[in-house]
Structure 1
């Protein structure tokens, strides 16, 4: 029989998984912005050592993003909203960037991961909440090496943050005059491109590190992964359906508030030391 803590942890993982799947469909994100904070708190309750607690949450989040993002992008693709040409151009640069971010994870202090959340979450939420129509870098997406550099940047930063990259790629696309619905749908496909090499990188980065729980494969908790994924797969189509019903401005505001909340959460964690 499960102890009271185990029951609470199980319930939290299931609720977190359900929320992750719903957000993955609604916002085109992998859901890491919610799974990382939840896993961070649960690993704290489990007395996981502080030096490995945050990277374990990030690595496990990336593993969860793989099936979640695949289900999300498929649902968006069937609605004809995904820009496949952008995903093709970003595929290799994103995967290289994700591996670079995971490599940094082996040597970075826990505060680096939290600071990445705060900086990029704040910038993206500000753009979505307060941005005007004229807040654009260009009227079209770039081509060639600039487009590929965007892919590398998205992969590297998202891997450090443990997210599927949807938040950052949505920002890039909306700044280049792409509609929010298309940006969200295309960004859903970014998740798998980042999560597969990112999760493998975190397995390697955490291999042999002291202080990890017995079920961990490097910086990936297999038990947390197994408990979270089923719930994400159930709720992802629900988020996709709602995303295509919401007006553009509603979707921007909800996404912005969500990211601002997560940024504030990690700002508090950094302040507490």
Structure 2
């Protein structure tokens, strides 16, 4: 990639700090680990700075997963204090989610950046449409199915989420609400699922990106340290604020906000791939 000027680095730094603030609030509000904001911003910021297309989305995804380690911890702790994390479900589900993460991260490390971008866009649009079109209170069943279908759902959530570079909320929240989870309980549990995704996902992003050419400066594997260090403080600080808002607003409005963010980001990413 071309050399980055000091002015470009300064603009990038300000943009990443602002991203951290917004990502933290969204992480606490929606249980999504902030990745739904971080991935597109990193993608467009690094693209503007001339990062090669072959690694552009991989770096955005890997860096986002790394930031979720901190943002997700802060968000999950805030929701846990408010009693909105289903620990019994996590104890029986974590291994299936982690298995999906390993498979998804392996696939992500071996496909093109364009394919990763398409995965992000398609899944985001589909989930947003589901949230907007599904009738209030509509559920597929009264509770989550038993094994092996429940484990299959965990593998799917982990695998697709790690390929998108996001926490567990994007798929976790609609999946849980589909099986009659209250929205606040679903958001809180999804925040904790984000940690199960982020830990192995980050390590595998570093592994698959180790020695890759054309990465932006200060990158360890596919994790860019500039993005990581600037986003983390702001997002960690503001995540509890998002959790507080989540418990103060109407659940239907919370669902609408979640869907609008997903839809907007998904369409933007798909347009970028197609054009």
TM exceeds 0.5? yes
Q: Is the 8 A contact 1:89 1:147 kept in 2?
A: no
1:240 aligns with 2:254: no
2:26 to 23, 28, 45: 23
TM-score normalised by the chain length of structure 2: 0.95
**Which of 81, 86, 90 lines up with 2:93 in the alignment?**
90
CA positional deviation for 1:45: 2.4
Shift of 1:134: 6.1
**Structure 2: how far apart are the matches of 1:119 and 1:66?**
25
Retained in 2: the 8 A contact 1:61–1:162?
A: yes
Task: Provide the alpha-carbon RMSD of the alignment.
Answer: 1.3
Aligned mate of 2:233, from 219, 230, 235: 230
Give the structure 2 partner of residue 139 of structure 1.
Answer: 142
- Taking the TM superposition and a 5 Å limit, the aligned residue runs for 1:54-69 are 54-69=57-72
Matches within 5 A, 1:57-136: 57-133=60-136, 135-136=138-139
Mapped contact 2:117–2:273 kept (Cα < 8 A): yes
1:169-200 per-position Cα deviation (integer Å, ceiling 9, x unaligned): 10110110111111111101011100000011
Match of 2:192 in 1: 189
Instruction: Please state whether the residue corresponding to 2:148 is helix, strand or coil.
Output: helix
Q: What is the CA-CA distance between 1:3 and the residue it aligns to?
A: 2.8
* Stretches of 4+ aligned residues off by more than 4 angstroms: none
Report the equivalent of 2:50: 47
Q: Which whole-Å CA distance do the structure 2 matches of 1:202 and 1:124 have between them?
A: 25
Q: Is 1:163 aligned to residue 194 of structure 2?
A: no
Instruction: Tell me, in whole angstroms, the C-alpha distance in 2 between the residues paired with 1:10 and 1:207.
Output: 24
Aligned match of 1:266 in 264, 269, 274? 269
Aligned length: 271
Partner SS, residue 211 of structure 2: coil
CA distance in 2, matches of 1:42, 1:172: 31
2: CA distance between counterparts of 1:133 and 1:28?
A: 20
Higher mean displacement: 248-257 or 110-119: 110-119
| Conservation of the 8 A alpha-carbon contact between 2:27 and 2:34 | yes
d(CA) in 2 for partners of 1:152 and 1:134? 26
Give the structure-1-normalised TM-score: 0.96
Partner of 1:163, secondary structure, is coil
Q: Matched residues in 2 for 1:122 and 1:37: separation?
A: 14
Check conservation: 2:69, 2:195, Cα contact below 8 A: yes
Aligned to 2:38: 35
